Amino acid sequence: DQQVKQNSPSLSVQEGRISILNCDYTNSMFDYFLWYKKYPAEGPTFLISISSIKDKNEDGRFTVFLNKSAKHLSLHIVPSQPGDSAVYFCAASAGWGDTNAGKSTFGDGTTLTVKP
Amino acid at 77: I
φ/ψ (deg, to 5) at 83:
-70, -10
- Residue 104 CB, shortest distance to other proteins, in Å, is 5
Give me the half-sphere count of Cα atoms (radius 13 Å) on the Cβ side of residue 27: 24
Nearer to other proteins, 15 or 98 (CB): 98
Q: How far is the CB of 22 from other proteins (least distance, A)?
A: 15
Binding site for other proteins (CB under 8 A): 4, 6, 9, 31-32, 34, 36, 41-46, 49, 51, 89, 91, 93-96, 101-109
For the bound state, the minimum distance from the C-beta of residue 78 to other proteins, rounded and expressed in Å, comes to 22
Q: Please report, to the nearest 10 degrees, the dihedral formed by the alpha carbons of residues 99, 107, 91, 6 taken in order.
A: -120
